[in-house]
Structure 1
C-alpha cells in the first residue's frame, strides 16, 4: 500500500494521514468481457469487504515492507542507531521466527461475516517479496523448510484463508504486489536500492527484466490455478507499469525506464484460469483497472466508474501494538458515506504475530455487525440516488425502487422527531418505516419537501444507534 498523492477530486478522511494513491491516473477504460461485467456487478452488490495485511513483519509490529525501502518518507522510517544494511538483513530473517500457531482463518471469516462483510482481499505477497502461499518459484515463502510454521497443517496460509472465507460465501480477492524487493531480478544485488523501483535500467538489461516478468507470471499462474475460485486479482505497486518518465529526478518515486510487467499477458493468463476474473491494476489506469481504489480516502462525490475505498481500521495497514482504532460509529458512518456515493468499502485489519485479529478490531467488527443486522438491507445490493446526501442524511436505493434515508447520528444523539427531505419526494401511496421498528411513520409533503414524523416509541428500541434508516417504498425526483 501507500502510493502517490491523489488529485483534489478526493477528500481525505483521516487528518494527518498522507494522501496515498493516484485514484484517476489516465482515463478509465470500461470492461467489455461479459463474464467480467457479470462479476463486477456482483462485486458492486457486496459493498463491504475485509482486508488483511499479514506477514512476518507482524512480529515486530512495524509497517509492512516499507521499512526496507530507502526512501526518505515517514512510512519508510527505521529505528535510530542501526544502519540500513543491518536493518534489512534482520528484516529478511523474520521468516525464520514466524510461527503463528493461533492462526484460525475460520474465526477470521466468522468475524467478517458477522460484521456484514461480503468479500475478502488477502495479501498473498507484499512488496518485501515474502510469499504467504506455497509458491514453487522462490524459497522466500511461508512453506519453506526454514520457516517454523511450515510443519503446521495450515502452513499454506493463502489457501487456508481463501477456503475459510469461501465456505462462508465470501467473494475472494488475492492481493499481489507486482514489485518484489527480495527478487534479485527486481532489486539487483550489484547496485544500491535507493527507491521502491527496480534498481537497473530495464532498457539496458532487458533479459534480466524479462526473467522478473516471467517469475511474476508464474506466481500469478499458481495463485489463479491452485487456490480454487478467485474473484479479484488486486495488484499493488502501481509504479510497476509500462510508462517511461524521462524527466524523473534522482531518489524520487519514479525512474526514467519502464517497468513493463506485460499486463496483457498476465491478465490473459489469470483469466484463462479464472474466467470473469476482476483485475485491479491499481493506480495505473487503462484496460486492466476494472475498478479504482482510493486509499484512505472517500470521494467528495460519486465517481463515474466502479470504485472501492480501501482503508485501515487503525493507523497502520499491518499489525501495530496499541494502534489507534477508529470507533465503530466512525466506521459505520464511513461505510454509509461510501455506499451512498456508489462505492465499496474495503476495511483492513492487521493480524498479530500469533495469527489472531487484535481484540479492539474484533470488538469493532462485532459492533458494526449489530448495526448491520438492522440496517444491512440499506447497504448490500444498493446503488446511489441523487442527491446522495443532505446534511446528516445519506441515501441509497434498492433494486425494487425503494429508497433508504440514513441519518448519521452523533454520540449520544437521539433521532429527531421529524426529518425533512428536500431532494426526494414520496410518490402517492408510498409508505415510510424505520428499520428495526414496527411503529408507523407519518409523512406530509408541501412545497417540494417531504416531512417524516417519527414517534418517540419508534426510536426507543434503537437508542444509541450509530445511524438510523428510514425506508421509503417509492420516490420521485
Structure 2
C-alpha cells in the first residue's frame, strides 16, 4: 500500500512525456547518416519506407501496477519515489511483480486485428525492456514471462505468438530489445549500488564481467533472430550502451552521467550474426549514428523540416508507452494530422499502444485505431508508398509524391470544422490540364490558376459530407 504515492507520481511522469519534459524522451535526428551497403538491407529499407504506419507495443511487468515502463527502478534525479521507502525495497517489490504477471486474457490476434483496422503495416514489440524482464522464452535468464504464473499457459512464449499473429496479417515484424539489462548481475552487479542507468561497475577493472554481458546480449539476440520466424527489424533501445567515442551532445542532453569507458557490446559481431540468421535484417541501433542505425527514431516529436534519409517518429497514442490507468488518448484526428505531417516530411509514424496486464487492449484504444483506419481506407493512396517533395507544406496543406507523376495535397481540417469551399496553394502547381481528384470520392474538382496561386473549389455537398473529417486528400499531376 505504501506505493500508492509512487504510482501516481510515476503516472505523472508518463503523462508529461509527450511534451519532452520527462527524461529520456526526445531523440532528435542528426545530419549524419550512413546508408546500408548490403543490397538486401537496402531493398528491405525501401520496402519499410513504403509502409509509413506501424505499431509499437510496450508490455511488461510495469503493466501490472500500471506505471512508467522500467524507469521507476532507475536511481536518477528525475525519478520520484516515496521518500519513506528504501530504494532496495522498491526494487525488490518491482522484481516481485513477476509473481503477479498472469495475462490470462492474452489475445495477440485481437491486437493484430486492431492494428490492421488502423491501416498499420509493421510491428515493433518489446521482447525485453531495460528492467530485464523477458517477454520471450530465453534460455539465458529465468526472469521471464514463461517462468511465472503464466508458465503453464500454452502461449507462455509471448513474443512468438505476438509475431505469429501480426505476421498472419502481413505485417513487417520488428523486435524491440533493450541493450542495457538492469536485472542481470552482468550489468547491475549487486556488489555495488545502482546510481543511474549505466553499468554500475568499472568495466576496465572487471573485463571478465563485461565480456559475460556481451556474450549474454549476443546469445539473446541470436535467440530472437533464430527461433521466432521471419524478423525484419531489430530495434535496439538504450542508446547509452555504446562506444565512448560515439557519445555526442545528444547523449549528454539526457542528463545521465557519462562513464569514462565504453559500454560497447560489439555491434559488428552482433549484426553479422543477426543478418546471417535473418538476411536483409534492418538494424536500428537508436541514436548511435553509423552503419547500424538503418533509420532514425525521433521520440515523441516530429522534426521541424523534411529529411530524405529514412526515419520514423515514435509517438504514443496516450501519454505513456505502456498501460497506465486513466490515460488520456489522442483523438483519431490528432493522430491523422501527425501521420500526415510525418509522412510529408519523409518519415513514418510508429504509434505506441500498451496492453493491460491481462493482455487486452482497451476499448478506447481500439476505437481510436478503427477511426484512423476508416480515414486511411479512403485516403491511404496519399500516404503509403509516397516520398517527400521539396515543397512539402504550405499552411495547413501537406504534400506527398507518389511513385508515378502523382502528387497529393493533404488538407488538414481542424477538429469540429468543415472544409472551406475553396483550397489554395502557391507551390506544387498542377500541370496545365491536370485533373484534380478528391480521394475517396473519385470525383474531379474544378480548379484554376490565378497568378501564382492555385484555387480548388469544393462542391457544397462535399463540404457538408466532410464536416468534422480530419483531412481531405487531393490527387493531381505536376
Query: TM-score, normalising length from structure 1?
Result: 0.93
Contact 2:35–2:42, Cα closer than 8 Å, also in 1: no
Alpha-carbon displacement from aligned partner over 1:191-245 (angstroms, at most 9, x marks no partner): 1110100011111111110000000000000000000001100000000001157
Q: Secondary structure at the match of 1:150?
A: coil
The partner residue of 2:368 within 364, 368, 373 is 364
Contact 1:25–1:284, Cα closer than 8 Å, also in 2: no
Distance 1:106 1:81 in 2: 43
Q: What does residue 3 of structure 1 align with?
A: none
The partner residue of 2:117 within 110, 114, 119 is 114
Q: What does residue 185 of structure 1 align with?
A: 186
The partner residue of 2:39 within 17, 34, 40 is 34
Q: What is the correspondence of 1:197-212 to structure 2 with a 5 Å cutoff? A: 197-212=198-213
The partner residue of 1:388 within 389, 392, 409 is 392
Distance 2:195 2:444 in 1: 65
Distance 1:471 1:219 in 2: 47
Q: What does residue 148 of structure 1 align with?
A: 149
Q: Is residue 101 of structure 1 aligned with residue 104 of structure 2? A: yes
Q: CA deviation at 1:434?
A: 1.1
Contact 1:21–1:283, Cα closer than 8 Å, also in 2: no
Q: What does residue 171 of structure 2 align with?
A: 170
Contact 1:224–1:273, Cα closer than 8 Å, also in 2: yes
Q: CA deviation at 1:18?
A: 5.6
Q: CA deviation at 1:169?
A: 0.3
Q: Is residue 23 of structure 1 aligned with residue 54 of structure 2? A: no
Tell me: CA distance 1:231–1:87, structure 2 relative to 1, closer, same or farther (3 Å): same
Q: Is residue 375 of structure 1 aligned with residue 376 of structure 2? A: no
Contact 2:59–2:322, Cα closer than 8 Å, also in 1: yes
Q: What does residue 195 of structure 1 align with?
A: 196
Q: CA deviation at 1:414?
A: 1.2
Q: CA deviation at 1:446?
A: 2.9
Q: What does residue 267 of structure 2 align with?
A: 263
Please list every run of 5 or more consecutive structure 2 residues that lacks an aligned counterpart in the other structure: 1-16
Q: CA deviation at 1:16?
A: 5.1
Distance 1:246 1:391 in 2: 35
Q: What does residue 60 of structure 1 align with?
A: 65
Distance 1:103 1:319 in 2: 14
Q: Secondary structure at the match of 1:311?
A: strand
Tell me: CA distance 1:15–1:241, structure 2 relative to 1, closer, same or farther (3 Å): closer
Contact 2:18–2:319, Cα closer than 8 Å, also in 1: no
Q: Secondary structure at the match of 2:236?
A: strand
Distance 2:83 2:366 in 1: 33
- The number of residues matched between the two structures is 458
Contact 1:172–1:232, Cα closer than 8 Å, also in 2: yes
Distance 1:260 1:380 in 2: 37
Distance 2:18 2:341 in 1: 11
Tell me: CA distance 1:22–1:463, structure 2 relative to 1, closer, same or farther (3 Å): closer
Contact 2:57–2:125, Cα closer than 8 Å, also in 1: yes
The partner residue of 1:48 within 49, 53, 62 is 53
Q: Is residue 69 of structure 1 aligned with residue 74 of structure 2? A: yes
Q: Secondary structure at the match of 1:111?
A: helix
Distance 1:51 1:468 in 2: 27
Q: Secondary structure at the match of 1:373?
A: helix
Contact 1:310–1:348, Cα closer than 8 Å, also in 2: yes
Alpha-carbon displacement from aligned partner over 1:258-283 (angstroms, at most 9, x marks no partner): 10100000111100000000000001
Contact 1:119–1:172, Cα closer than 8 Å, also in 2: yes
Distance 1:138 1:287 in 2: 29
Q: CA deviation at 1:462?
A: 2.7
Distance 2:410 2:54 in 1: 20
Alpha-carbon displacement from aligned partner over 1:43-82 (angstroms, at most 9, x marks no partner): 0000000011001210101111100000011xx3224432
Q: Secondary structure at the match of 1:215?
A: helix
Q: Secondary structure at the match of 2:54?
A: strand
Distance 2:159 2:334 in 1: 30
Q: What does residue 158 of structure 2 align with?
A: 157
Tell me: CA distance 1:433–1:26, structure 2 relative to 1, closer, same or farther (3 Å): closer
Q: What does residue 4 of structure 2 align with?
A: none
Alpha-carbon displacement from aligned partner over 1:272-315 (angstroms, at most 9, x marks no partner): 00000000000111111000000000001012421000011111
Alpha-carbon displacement from aligned partner over 1:342-395 (angstroms, at most 9, x marks no partner): 000000011111001122211111111111111111111111112111001011
Alpha-carbon displacement from aligned partner over 1:149-184 (angstroms, at most 9, x marks no partner): 111111111000000000000000000000000010
Q: Is residue 87 of structure 1 aligned with residue 90 of structure 2? A: yes
Q: Secondary structure at the match of 2:393?
A: strand
Distance 2:188 2:268 in 1: 24
Which portions of structure 1, spanning 4 or more consecutive aligned residues, are displaced by more than 4 angstroms? 15-19, 244-249
Deviates more, 1:197-206 or 1:23-32: 23-32
Q: Is residue 420 of structure 1 aligned with residue 424 of structure 2? A: yes
Please list every run of 5 or more consecutive structure 1 residues that lacks an aligned counterpart in the other structure: 1-11
Q: CA deviation at 1:14?
A: 3.5
Q: What does residue 240 of structure 2 align with?
A: 239
Q: CA deviation at 1:438?
A: 4.2
Structure 1 vs Structure 2 CA RMSD: 1.9
